[in-house]
Amino acid sequence: MTISRRNLLKSAAGIATGATLPRHLLAQNALNTTTIPSSGQQIPSVGMGCRNYRGSLDSGEMTAFRETFAAFHKGGGKVIDTSPNYGNSEEIIGHIMNEQDIRDDLWLATKVDREDAARGIERIENSFDLLGGESFELMQVHNLRGVDIQLRTMRELKEQGRLRYIGVTTSNDRQYEEMESVLAEHQLDFVQVDYSLGNRNASNRLLPLAQDRGIAVLVNLPFGRGRLFNAVGDRPLPDWAADIDATSWAQVFLKYVMSHSSGAIPIPGTTKPYHAEDNLNAARGRLPDATLRAEMEAFIDPLL
């Protein structure tokens, strides 16, 4: 049976009463931050993925999209990740940021997904047109497509001041071997990879390599495409959740990712305002230590 995250939130909120700091007190605290090794810049330790921001600007979904961005911004969120590969996500995000006048408050990451240089440049320039602004915080080669050619272009744009950081992405362990070679051969600021409590393959070699190379880590699929929520079902939060100030399963899963020694920053796909608020609260309070991380793994593995 598929478990609704909304129901999990309601259940966890009731269980957590008296066990952890109240949500309204946690929300008063600033978000925990993560330092980008190549620059020393600090950014909030959880972001927002925008894969599902697509459709007509006149659609009914736009209300939820607008409210989600407003909640994320109000809660102190900054890191936004999108791609021209996600339908018209960049158009929708650009429209919302312009409406809410929050473009300069956000830390924008997008991607390029073309094989040759000319089409890659065209793709990047279109991202600038849709998202606005004179520069992006991060441009990434999407799923290593045309990686050597696109990194060459991206380095030039970085030298021109149009990109602050450059990186590469994958969401599939079939690309891990190639990704290792790319991380070893190129000077990068960021790598984005799939990693979660239930999918820890990236921690075998990729995350340690990124850490050794001084490369910041963004994490896609921190909920394992919903697999983790289905695994825990309607179970109450374990007692140890209080030790990391977690009041929902989503916060448990995100705090596990954030506690990796690489300083991984999860960017869960988020299209509902109450999910944005819940995710941001994962970046408040304590994180699991090595002992608790092992206990979390032992808890989830039999359920998957």
- Whether 12 shows a pLDDT value over 50: the answer reads no
Q: How does residue 4 score in pLDDT terms, banded at 50, 70 and 90?
A: low
Q: Which residue has the higher pLDDT, 16 or 275?
A: 275
Mean pLDDT of 139-157: 98
Q: How does residue 150 score in pLDDT terms, banded at 50, 70 and 90?
A: very high
Percentage of residues in the chain with pLDDT exceeding 90?
90
CA distances from 229 to 7, 198, 199 (A): 11, 10, 13
- Cα torsion for 138, 139, 144, 145, to the nearest 10°? 170
The DSSP bridge partners found for residue 49 are 81, 269
Q: Domain count for the chain, please give it.
A: 1
Per the prediction, the chain carries an average pLDDT of: 93
Express each pLDDT in 205-262 by its tens digit. Answer: 999 999 999 999 999 999 999 999 999 999 999 999 999 999 999 999 999 999 999 9
Residue 265, both tokens: 């920053």
The DSSP bridge partners found for residue 48 are 80
Q: Put the strands of the sheet holding 136-141 in their side by side order.
A: 48-49, 79-81, 107-112, 136-141, 163-169, 190-194, 216-220, 265-266
Mean pLDDT of 10-22: 42
- Whether 14 shows a pLDDT value over 80: the answer reads no
The confidence score (pLDDT) of residue 148 equals 98
CATH number at residue 140: 3.20.20.100
- Whether 279 shows a pLDDT value over 60: the answer reads yes
Mean pLDDT of 269-289: 98
- Whether 278 shows a pLDDT value over 90: the answer reads yes
The confidence score (pLDDT) of residue 1 equals 44
Mean pLDDT of 80-97: 98
Q: Cβ neighbours of residue 3 under 8 Å, at least 6 residues apart?
A: 229, 230, 232, 233, 234
The confidence score (pLDDT) of residue 29 equals 75
Q: How does residue 58 score in pLDDT terms, banded at 50, 70 and 90?
A: very high
* C-beta separation of 16 from 242 below 8 A: yes
Q: Which residue has the higher pLDDT, 200 or 2?
A: 200
The confidence score (pLDDT) of residue 26 equals 43
Domain hosting residue 48, numbered range: 5-303
The confidence score (pLDDT) of residue 13 equals 44
The confidence score (pLDDT) of residue 176 equals 98
Mean pLDDT of 198-205: 98
Enter the pTM of the model.
0.91
Mean pLDDT of 144-163: 98
